[in-house]
């Protein structure tokens, strides 16, 4: 996993963003190899949690992150959640604990899945995505704090 994070960071600096120089074939190949290795290792349900698994124990121990925009967050969110928009998650990874459960969600799970995937590829194996998102949590959550 660390090898992947290093390759991803290198690629981000040397070409994906275009900030320093064009990506070399070697850096692109290393990045592809690292992503493929991660995908080969990941299980079907790797990196997800279902609303019916979010019981009181999960709420008491996990950091919950709403990855929707600030306006959506203000309209309503899972109690105790912090707001980090999905696109900002990779750049704000240091705000997420490196251990313990971190759960990302959006309305349905689509955008938070991208953020969780990026976080996991960057080495945060403790980051999960709430399958079905806020909408699913509202209808099937095992526990809803008051």
- Domain spans, the chain: 2-41, 48-140
Quote the percentage of the chain above a pLDDT of 90.
62
What CA–CA distance (Å, rounded) separates 137 from 18? 39
pLDDT value of residue 143? 95
pLDDT digits (tens, 9 = 90+) for 33-67: 776 766 666 555 568 999 999 999 999 999 999 99
Architecture of the domain made up of 48-140: 3-Layer(aba) Sandwich (3.40)
pLDDT value of residue 57? 96
Mapped onto helix, strand or coil, the DSSP state of residue 126 is coil
51 by Cβ neighbours in 10 Å (0-12 / 13-18 / 19+) ranks as buried
Average pLDDT, the chain: 83
pLDDT value of residue 42? 54
pTM above 0.85, yes or no: no
pLDDT value of residue 15? 41
Which residues lie closer than 8 Å to 47 by C-beta, 6 or more apart?
116, 117, 120, 127, 128, 129
pLDDT value of residue 121? 85
Q: Which of 5-9, 52-56, 118-122 is least confident?
A: 5-9
pLDDT value of residue 44? 52
Phi and psi angles of residue 66, each rounded to the nearest 5 degrees, phi first: -85, 120
């Amino acid at each position: 996993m660390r090898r992947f994070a290093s390759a991803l960071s290198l690629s981000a600096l040397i070409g994906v963003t275009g900030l320093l120089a064009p990506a070399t074939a070697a850096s692109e190949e290393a990045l592809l190899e690292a992503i493929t290795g991660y995908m080969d290792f990941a299980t079907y349900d790797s990196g997800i949690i279902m609303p019916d698994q979010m019981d009181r124990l999960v709420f008491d121990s996990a950091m919950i992150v709403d990855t929707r925009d600030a306006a959506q967050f203000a309209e309503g969110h899972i109690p105790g959640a912090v707001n980090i928009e999905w696109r900002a998650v990779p750049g704000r990874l240091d705000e997420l604990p490196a251990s313990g459960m971190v759960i990302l969600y959006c309305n349905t799970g689509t955008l938070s899945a991208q953020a969780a995937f990026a976080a996991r590829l960057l080495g945060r194996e403790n980051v999960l995505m709430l399958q079905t998102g806020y909408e699913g949590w509202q209808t099937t959550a095992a526990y809803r704090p008051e």
